[in-house]
């Protein structure tokens, strides 16, 4: 990697309060998923699955940013320490969901094969059926975290001279590789969600897009700021063009599955760059009060909201069927409201206590905490 800057060197946009517009993107991502999983979601029901790809880009950017920050600050990277800290963030809420799900199935008399539990517990539910249809994305992210840590540790440990330009070239080659792999997979067998859409080896480029964005943001901060500020409207137009292959073609088609998925994560990376470099609105501005702040608040609890939303949907559907409004707009509103409420409550009861323990036992070696 490139030599780290002197201790104390800061990167614009990495200090101070949480990045509110980044949290807003998290909120948009989880709301898209909620629209996807309810039939009343309208057009957003058809395209809400793109929220997961936005999550992937955000994860790649935020998680790799921690690695870059640690290396730039200390000149080294402790992979095990990093994974333990990630575990305190990811595992408590996730395993709580699995325990509650197992208890609910026991009470209702439902049984699942033991391998479904094993797949969830060890995070290969994107290759083998698990207990829930949405946790496949957690499998992709876990595989990405471990791969990223291994690669970063080897590069830093061996003192490999790997500068930013070489990283950009490597990422572009990998983007083309994953695109070609999806093409070959689609041409080689009929499209199936589990084999074509969930597999880690076909979806890592979306996370890699976030990693590349984080590298440029950390190592070329002035150029990063200037590029996104000076070309803002052109980049917004590029987002629209990049999303067109997915919007105009059916889910599972060759174009959507290949160029469409590539376009989604590139559009997400551009949106993230625009969010990171945007000037914050005045606190009294109507858009800030009624859109940015509420959606960013949802984004701050997006992980726990995402985890619990299908469990909430099952409960809501049971109640709405008895009360006679199943499948209605009322059911959808209740579903969204209770999903966010469940995310908030589980964030307070489970996530935050473990994060406090994490900071006591394994304090951050980077400037930012995600």
pLDDT in tens, 101-112: 999 999 999 889
Instruction: Kindly indicate the confidence band of residue 173, based on its pLDDT and cuts at 50, 70 and 90.
Output: very high
- Percentage, residues of the chain above pLDDT 90: 85
Does residue 304 lie in a domain region? yes
Does residue 159 lie in a domain region? yes
Task: Give how far Cα 1 sits from Cα of 75, 89, 131, 148, 209, Å.
Answer: 10, 27, 40, 14, 18
Does residue 266 lie in a domain region? yes
* d(C-alpha 271, C-alpha 239), whole Å: 7
Task: Please determine, for residue 180, whether its predicted confidence score (pLDDT) is greater than 70.
Answer: yes
Does residue 175 lie in a domain region? yes
Task: Give how far Cα 203 sits from Cα of 60, 128, 197, 199, Å.
Answer: 12, 16, 7, 7
Task: Please determine, for residue 11, whether its predicted confidence score (pLDDT) is greater than 70.
Answer: no
* d(C-alpha 237, C-alpha 230), whole Å: 14
Does residue 73 lie in a domain region? yes
* d(C-alpha 217, C-alpha 204), whole Å: 20
Give per-residue pLDDT as tens, 157-169.
887 766 899 999 9
Higher per-residue confidence, 60 vs 73? 60
Instruction: Kindly indicate the confidence band of residue 19, based on its pLDDT and cuts at 50, 70 and 90.
Output: confident
Does residue 3 lie in a domain region? no
Does residue 340 lie in a domain region? yes
> What is the C-alpha radius of gyration for the chain, rounded to an integer number of angstroms?
21
- Which uninterrupted H or E stretch holds 22? helix 20-36
Average pLDDT in the 113-119 region? 97
Tokens 């702040």 correspond to what residue?
293
CB-based contact 75:226 (threshold 8 Å): no
Average pLDDT in the 102-123 region? 95
* d(C-alpha 53, C-alpha 207), whole Å: 8
The total number of structural domains that make up the chain: 1
Average pLDDT in the 45-69 region? 96
Task: Please determine, for residue 186, whether its predicted confidence score (pLDDT) is greater than 90.
Answer: yes
Task: Please determine, for residue 47, whether its predicted confidence score (pLDDT) is greater than 50.
Answer: yes
Instruction: Kindly indicate the confidence band of residue 249, based on its pLDDT and cuts at 50, 70 and 90.
Output: very high
* d(C-alpha 283, C-alpha 279), whole Å: 12
CB-based contact 278:4 (threshold 8 Å): no
Q: Which pLDDT does position 234 carry in this prediction?
A: 98
Range of the domain at 332: 20-361
Name which of 52-56, 69-73, 298-302 the model is least confident about.
Answer: 69-73
The most confident of 8-12, 48-52, 104-108, by mean pLDDT: 48-52
Does residue 322 lie in a domain region? yes
**243: number of Cβ within 10 Å:** 18
């Amino acid at each position: 990697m490139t030599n780290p800057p002197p201790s104390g060197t800061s990167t614009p946009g990495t200090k101070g309060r949480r990045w509110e517009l980044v949290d807003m993107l998290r909120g948009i991502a989880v709301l898209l998923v909620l629209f996807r999983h309810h039939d009343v979601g309208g057009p957003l029901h058809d395209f809400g699955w793109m929220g997961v790809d936005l999550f992937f880009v955000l994860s790649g950017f935020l998680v790799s940013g921690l690695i870059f920050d640690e290396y730039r600050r200390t000149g080294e990277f402790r992979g095990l320490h990093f994974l333990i800290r990630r575990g305190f963030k990811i595992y408590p809420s996730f395993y709580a969901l699995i325990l509650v799900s197992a208890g609910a199935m026991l009470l209702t008399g439902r049984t699942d094969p033991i391998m479904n539990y094993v797949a969830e517990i060890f995070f290969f539910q994107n290759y083998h059926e698990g207990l829930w249809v949405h946790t496949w994305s957690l499998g992709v992210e876990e595989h990405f975290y471990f791969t990223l840590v291994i690669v970063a540790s080897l590069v830093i440990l061996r003192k490999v001279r790997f500068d930013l330009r070489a990283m950009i070239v490597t990422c572009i080659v990998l983007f083309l590789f994953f695109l070609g792999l999806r093409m070959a997979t689609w041409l080689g067998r009929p499209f199936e969600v589990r084999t074509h859409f969930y597999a880690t080896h076909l979806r890592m480029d979306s996370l890699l897009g976030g990693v590349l964005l984080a590298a440029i943001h950390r190592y070329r901060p002035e150029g990063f700021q200037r590029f996104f500020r000076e070309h803002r409207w052109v980049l917004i137009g590029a987002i629209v063009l990049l999303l067109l292959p997915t919007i105009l073609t059916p889910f599972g088609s060759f174009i959507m599955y290949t160029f469409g998925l590539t376009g989604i994560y590139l559009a997400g990376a551009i949106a993230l760059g625009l969010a990171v470099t945007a000037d914050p609105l005045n606190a009294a501005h109507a858009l800030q009060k009624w859109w940015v702040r509420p959606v960013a608040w949802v984004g701050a609890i997006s992980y726990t909201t995402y985890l619990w939303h299908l469990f909430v949907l099952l409960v809501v559907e049971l109640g709405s069927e008895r009360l006679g409004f199943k499948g209605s707009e009322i059911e959808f509103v209740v579903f969204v409201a209770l999903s966010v409420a469940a995310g908030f409550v589980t964030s307070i009861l489970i996530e935050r206590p473990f994060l406090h323990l994490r900071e006591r036992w394994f304090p951050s070696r980077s400037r930012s905490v995600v």
